[in-house]
Chain A
Amino acid sequence: MMPRPPARSLGFTLVEVIVAMTLTGIVVAGTLKALTAQRKFYTRQARILDARHAMRASTIILASEFREASATGGDLYAVAADSVALRSTVGFAIVCNVSGVSGTLSLKHLSGHFRLDAADSVLVFAEYGASDADDVWRALPVVGISTAGSNCDSGETADRVVTVTGDLSGIWVGAPLRLFRAYVFGLFEFNGRWWLGRRNRGSGPDYVPVAGPLAPPGDGGLQLTYYRQDGATTVNPSLVSRVHISVRAPTDRTLADPAYRDLSTSTYLRNDG
């Protein structure tokens, strides 16, 4: 005799469905909550990383500029708590031939960007007598930079030849030369955010962003403190021996409720004495 099959199961009972839906809801809600938390965590972490990168870049750039400057040589034009105007060295070389007739200086041991669109002036070392007292760095406007021209006194091929206007007396083979441009570094606002920017000191107020975003000036986005050799603070550009650079960058998306991270560093001006 064949066994009699039980009555066919037609589906879940209401209780089963409710239980399943409740469990599913709990799991989905938990997953969503975890996801949201993770998303917030990563967003926050990403912003902290971004802020750190912005602060690091800002301090590295500014420290590099200050390190290269000579306060006694007049490289700091103006110093303020949230900006600085200075001579920025964009190229360095050694003079290997001087031609007063053509107004050219041939160069070896080149480093940096020797292009007219990068800078339009040079500082070149000049000396006269044996004493250091008459040594001078002479600033000369550059009217041309080429890869062809007179060779070095040694017979080697010069890496570049710069044509300048001005007095070339006292400039000897072996003298160092710096290609420079006068820049202002400071905070500026763009698209509702504040950036460390750089602009030409002489022409126009337009900043070019170099790092950021940073906190607004009122929240201490960039704070520069200048110290003399004896450790006292100073606002006299020619007395600056050390600069404390402090930057602050936002880590929250909402501008209304910012949270900030800070980074500070100190750098000595390397080219005095």
Chain B
Amino acid sequence: MAARDEVLARIRTALGRSPAAGAPAGDRVPRGYRRSAGLDTGALISLLTERLHDYGTAVRRCPPSGVPAAVAEALAGRGARRVVVPAGFELPGLDVPGVTLFADDGLSPGALDAADGVMTTAALAIAETGTIVLDGGPGQGRRALSLVPDYHLCLLQAGQIVGIVPEAMDRLPPGSPCTWISGPSATSDIELDRVQGVHGPRTLEVILIEP
């Protein structure tokens, strides 16, 4: 008997029923937990910023017209000269001397490693947990892009901030590969002393765009 058939048969025997029992009906799971935080945009911005600061993530706030300047400031502050961006990502008006934005066209891990940093947009952010979510949508790129370079500059719209995790799950389309980022990487494996910055970008900075 093939393994698949045998495991399924074992499960059915263990549960004491026949194969044709069919799909379970309805959702009888008690869902008394919060499904939304009920916070307004101002409160969401405030909470997210506080949580990002807890993680040591620099947050620059600006209106849409101020984005190029904020980006220029961030990149200059970092000393980043070669910054990779997802294919199709455009930032008109960005003028930073000595900075080259080059598009990801299937760069090798080594080439990504050689970049000074990566710049992307985001899918959404979760205020309560200080989480930025990337789901490969426009301006976010494939996962390796925001993983290998040591510096990640993320452009986030204020309207993309939700309050709590269930709100995020409601908005994210299942199927795309998705990365949730909550603070820089860390380990507590050595005597439980938390050490930041193991793998993944050790510096994350956010530009929060408010209309």
Tell me if chain B binds chain A: no
